[in-house]
């Protein structure tokens, strides 16, 4: 989004929309296999980590101990959600 300059730069704007679309398709595929709460938690956590890594690598964002701890805690929370037993849903 930052590189699109408010949609004034064509290629970054198109790439942003393509990647948002691919992310949405992946999310929909994930919902078909796991509970929506777990799918949303995974989607959010993966997106947060990916964007943070991109920010650090390409936009010189500062990586602090607080950020590292927060990433670990969020990741542990998402992993913890996946250990919850899932009830089998039947449609009668």
The residues spanned by each domain of the chain are 1-33, 34-86
Contact 42, 30 (CB under 8 A): yes
The residue whose two tokens read 């990433």 is 71
Confidence at residue 18, expressed as pLDDT on a 0 to 100 scale = 93
pLDDT in tens, 64-80: 899 889 888 888 887 78
pLDDT in tens, 16-59: 899 889 988 988 888 888 888 788 888 888 888 888 888 888 88
- Look up the pTM and report it: 0.62
Is 8's pLDDT higher than 70?
A: yes
Confidence at residue 86, expressed as pLDDT on a 0 to 100 scale = 62
Residue 35 CA: distances (Å) to CA of 7, 18, 53, 84: 35, 26, 27, 10
Confidence at residue 66, expressed as pLDDT on a 0 to 100 scale = 92
Cα 46 to Cα 72: distance, rounded to the nearest angstrom:
12
Please give the backbone phi and psi of residue 45, each rounded to the nearest 5 degrees, phi first.
-65, -45
């Amino acid at each position: 989004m930052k590189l699109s300059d408010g949609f004034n730069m064509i290629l970054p704007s198109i790439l942003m929309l393509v990647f948002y679309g691919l992310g949405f398709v992946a999310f929909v595929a994930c919902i078909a296999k796991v509970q929506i709460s777990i799918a949303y938690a995974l989607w959010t956590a993966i997106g947060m980590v990916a964007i943070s890594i991109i920010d650090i690598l390409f936009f010189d964002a500062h990586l602090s101990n607080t950020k590292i701890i927060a990433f670990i805690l969020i990741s542990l929370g998402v992993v913890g959600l996946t250990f919850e037993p899932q009830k089998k849903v039947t449609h009668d």
